Amino acid sequence: MPQKADLHIHTICSDGHLSPEEVIKLAEMKNLGAVSITDHDTFEGYKIAKPFADEAGIELIPGVEVTTLFNGKEAHILAYYFETETNYFGDFLKSQKSSRQTRIKGIVKTLNSKRIDISYDEVWAEADGGNLGRPHIAKILIEKGYVSNFNEAFQLYLSNEKLGDIKNSYPDSEKAIQMIKNVGGAAILAHPGKLYSEQEIEEFIELGVDGLECIHPSHNYRKQAFYSKLCDQRSLLKTGGSDYHGGIEAGHSNVGIVAIAKKNVESMKRMTDQRKQTILVKE
């Protein structure tokens, strides 16, 4: 029985290159026991992939990468094993989609002010129905010859430092963490070594995250060991995944290349099952 799990995968439902069905086929080829499609602020990928995962005998864990604000900057919280039928969470994700659209319009306006010929309609078409994100803009910049690759697009135009103060209405991290817990899910800080200082990670723990994404392409062995030890010390869940997008962007690896032992998935499921029972008792 496969004992590895990749808990961080993106599809065309947000800023990935492959369909949910293609991701499941790839996971089957990699002999993974469990995967989670964690598209940005949308749950559509899970719904599409579920019958294919069932047919392949792969456990498909409900997942979303939720965009939040932490001390004024963007932060990502991975949500797992939440109740999939609740209107509360569905309404929240609809508001996230609207927030993304507003932010992309602001980014397009900023780029236009720098004499970059790009329109919101072009970004919408590039996303092809998926949730909008900066990678969609990066693709257009490459196609139009403004940059040669994704790294250059972000370095020259799309990093937070280059974009400046563009209005967004994402929820603060604490609110999002509590919302995830309220629907029986586990709230995990995504790729902590990529964006945060040790002090900021401590702040996230104080805000109530259930665990850390210890294994990620941006984490070297030293960081992996540090986050794993921290989780042991603070009784936190450990997760990990490839952050697969399907392209060749730096920092992203193939499905299953970066994975975590399935026993960690089982620990998370036990915790969320208990949380759901507590919610039912309160109701």
For the chain, the domains span 4-88+171-282, 94-163
State pLDDT tens for residues 89-136.
888 888 888 888 888 999 999 999 999 999 999 998 988 777 888 889
Residue 152 token pair = 């250059």
Which tokens belong to 18?
A: 């492959």
Contact 29, 4 (CB under 8 A): no
Q: Are 163 and 107 in contact (CB under 8 A)?
A: yes
Give pLDDT tens digits for 6-39: 999 999 999 888 999 999 999 999 999 999 999 9
- Over the chain, what is the mean pLDDT? 90
At 46, is the pLDDT very low, low, confident or very high (cuts 50, 70, 90)? very high
Instruction: Using pLDDT thresholds of 50, 70 and 90, give the confidence band for residue 164.
Output: low
Of 82, 108, 109, give the one whose Cα is nearest residue 93.
82
Helix axis angle, 20-29 to 44-56, nearest 10°? 40
> pLDDT value at position 253?
57
Q: Which of 161, 184, 164, 182 is nearest to 271 (CA)?
A: 184
Q: State the Cα–Cα distance between residues 191 and 207, nearest whole angstrom.
A: 17
Backbone φ and ψ of 45, nearest 5°: -60, -40
Region 199-226: mean pLDDT is 97
CATH of segment(s) 4-88+171-282: 3.20.20.140
CATH number of the 94-163 domain:
1.10.150
How distant is the alpha carbon of residue 150 from its chain centre? Answer: 18
For a pLDDT cut of 90, what percent of the chain falls above it?
68
